[in-house]
Amino acid sequence: MKKIIFIISSLFLVGLLSVLFLLPDDQPSIVKPEPQYEEVYGIDVSHHQKNINWDQVSKSDKIIFNRRTKINTSERVEKKSKVQFCILKATEGVKHVDKRFKRNLSGCMKYKIPRTCYHYYRFKRDPKKQAQNFINQVPKSQINLPPAIDVEQKYNEAIVPSELRKNPLLKKQLIQELKILSDELEKHYGQKPIFYTSLEYIQLIVNNFPDNPIWIHDLRPVKSPKCDWVFWQISIRGQIKGITGPVDINKFNGNKKDFYKYVNK
């Protein structure tokens, strides 16, 4: 009787091992969740980065950047991190399209890097036409973060902060144009656009667009900007494998779990 039980047990064990070893290679493996405390870093790029090797960017596991510690001093920061998102310049004004945009978008999509695109706003150019320029170039299905509007002083000399303080009508016109641009993009993409801006314009944006996400440019030696930000451009002198020359480095306000919730909204 013991011999029969032993034979049956042995056959059962052999059968079980056979099933396990014959499982197809594409069976899902157990994946441990990413550490929830891990920081999330990404980049923003345009034609200034020239020909990007997106294969190398996607495989890079190190981000290096310079960060200010005091006035006129900086430190080299090295983070063991992949590029976990990318923000691509798409358009500017009513007609301009960044000459590297299509190639950069294609590279991000090929290597499955979470991404969005931004429009460089130009003052006193028809905001509806600016929105349409962006919409014509950026298919809704090809980005998985909200679109972004870049508001800054360069090429917009008329809206320097000192002029806005002196001229209420100028400030009113700026807000009206940004509202039309933001509304048009929200109507098309179904999400409120992100506003990229610097400390000079942050109060104007926050006061007039309280529900839009903020992407803040702040290079000061601070632990965190004081505004309620989603993305923080912390350096304009980053180094990533696959990109020749400096690249802007950005940080997401949250951990990986928070970020993937944001991506999958």
User: Looking at residue 158, what is its pLDDT?
Assistant: 86
CB 87 within 8 A of CB 79: no
213-226 per-position pLDDT tens digit: 999 999 988 888 98
CB 114 within 8 A of CB 86: yes
CB 149 within 8 A of CB 178: yes
- How many CB atoms are closer than 10 A to CB 191? 17
Closest of 88, 71, 16 to residue 222, by C-alpha: 71
131-168 per-position pLDDT tens digit: 999 999 999 999 999 999 999 988 898 888 889 999 99
DSSP per-residue letters across 29-86:
PP-PPPPTT-EEEEEEE-GGG-S--HHHHHH---EEEEEEEETTEEEEEEE------E
Q: Which stretches of the chain score pLDDT less than 50? A: 2-34, 36
In whole angstroms, give the CA distance from residue 112 to residue 96.
26
Closest of 159, 157, 91, 89 to residue 129, by C-alpha: 91
Q: Where are the domains of the chain?
A: 40-263
| Side chain identity, residue 141 | S
Backbone angles phi, psi at 264, to 5 degrees: -95, 20
Beta strands of 142-246 (E only): which ranges?
148-150, 194-198, 214-217, 231-239
The torsion of the CA quartet 190, 196, 202, 206, rounded to 10 degrees, works out to: 10
User: Looking at residue 3, what is its pLDDT?
Assistant: 45
pTM of the model: 0.84
Q: Residue 218 burial (CB < 10 Å; 0-12/13-18/19+)?
A: middle
Encoded tokens for 102: 């299509």
Provide, for the chain, the percentages of residues in helix, strand and coil under a 3-state DSSP scheme, each rounded to the nearest 5.
Answer: 35, 25, 35
Report the percentage of the chain scoring pLDDT > 90.
Answer: 73
- How many CB atoms are closer than 10 A to CB 195? 26
User: Looking at residue 4, what is its pLDDT?
Assistant: 44
Q: Looking at domain 40-263, which of 3.40.50.2000, 3.20.20.80, 1.10.10.10, 3.10.50.40 is its CATH number?
A: 3.20.20.80
Give, for 253, the enclosing helix (H) or strand (E). strand 247-255
